[in-house]
């Protein structure tokens, strides 16, 4: 199978990681990647999106763009729904009309966090805030217009690019004498590099459509993740001294948007795909921290 792949969100951390992996992967030269950032593919500009799609005529549309400001969405719901739902509907309908495939990246925030075991792809959704609701609405509109679409839900994304928890923690650990981190929210960190590898497989291989979950295999709290970040930051020289880290409750650290208390997702369906290997969260974290140390 060959064709043209249009990647949205190319300037984001996932988009940059996907482009990096695409350039390094051995693949049939008949595959062509067209990577577009917000300046070339703005999800708030419906006509501009349609013009870009008509001009590029992709065989596969990989949507890695999203409105991801979880707290900001509570006061800017119009933009969140425009980007995460309406734009997805526009892309899906174009793909349906042009017999193109669509792969869409979604989030653990579609769940309410009341589970005690990892969420399966078919588990009932119940978003807690505007961000999760807008992402779930995007999933629904995509599957209504394009039932053969592929959705990949992921969680706690980080990389050496952009803004994310890992980079924020490293900065604060250099600036502060001590730090408090929420310890009663559990989830699975996901390196954009491991997610990029999965998305590459979904693009280039004959994979069944449907909903997949992807993370790097952990079931930890933000506090435990921060502890690992400090350990690895010290080991590679990004940090020069350890500071005390203190566990907090969600009540100790209120935010505009409610976070799910438990958002671990079962990735076994994705691991069953040919060529997909299990990633390890500590190995993936070290890769990103090493990349940051080299910059």
Q: Among all residues, which ones are annotated catalytic?
A: 131
Of 108, 193, 196, 198, the closest CA to residue 159 belongs to: 193
Cβ neighbors of 242 (< 8 A, separation 6 or more) are: 230, 234
Q: What single DSSP character describes residue 128?
A: -
Angstrom distance (rounded) from CA 286 to CA 230: 11
DSSP classification of residue 147: T
Q: Which residue has the tokens 């390196």?
A: 191
Distance CA 69, CA 257 (A): 10
- Contact call for residues 188 and 253 (beta carbons, < 8 A): no
Strands (DSSP E) contained in the chain are: 4-8, 32-36, 60-63, 101-107, 150-154, 157-158, 179-182, 186-187, 190-191, 210-214, 220-221, 245-248
3-state percent helix, strand, coil for the chain, nearest multiple of 5 = 45, 15, 40
- 3-class state of residue 265 by DSSP: strand
Cβ atoms of 263 and 110 closer than 8 Å: no
């Amino acid at each position: 199978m060959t064709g043209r792949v249009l990647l949205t969100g190319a300037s984001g951390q996932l988009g940059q990681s996907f482009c990096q992996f695409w350039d390094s992967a051995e693949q049939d030269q008949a595959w062509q990647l067209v990577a577009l950032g917000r300046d070339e593919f703005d999800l708030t500009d419906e006509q501009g999106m349609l013009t870009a799609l008509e001009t590029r005529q992709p065989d596969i549309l990989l949507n890695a763009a999203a409105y991801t400001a979880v707290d900001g969405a509570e006061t800017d719901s119009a933009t969140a729904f425009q980007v995460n739902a309406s734009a997805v509907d526009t892309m899906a309908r174009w793909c349906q009309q042009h017999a193109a495939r669509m792969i869409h990246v979604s989030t653990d925030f579609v769940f309410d966090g009341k589970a005690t075991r990892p969420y399966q792809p078919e588990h009932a959704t119940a978003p807690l805030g505007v961000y999760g609701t807008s992402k779930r609405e995007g999933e629904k509109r995509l599957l209504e217009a394009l039932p053969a679409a592929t959705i990949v839900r992921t969680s706690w994304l980080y990389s050496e690019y952009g803004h994310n928890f890992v980079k924020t923690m490293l900065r604060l650990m250099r600036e502060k004498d001590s730090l408090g981190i929420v310890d009663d929210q559990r989830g699975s960190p996901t390196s954009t590099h491991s997610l990029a590898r999965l998305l590459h497989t979904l693009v280039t291989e004959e994979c069944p459509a449907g909903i997949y979950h992807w993370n790097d295999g952990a079931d930890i709290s933000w506090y435990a993740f921060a502890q690992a970040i400090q350990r690895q930051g010290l080991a590679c020289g990004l940090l020069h001294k350890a500071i005390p880290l203190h566990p907090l409750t969600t009540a100790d650290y209120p935010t505009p948007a409610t976070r799910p208390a438990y958002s671990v997702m079962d990735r076994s369906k994705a691991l069953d795909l040919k060529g997909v290997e299990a990633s390890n969260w500590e190995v993936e974290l070290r890769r990103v921290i090493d990349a940051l140390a080299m910059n």
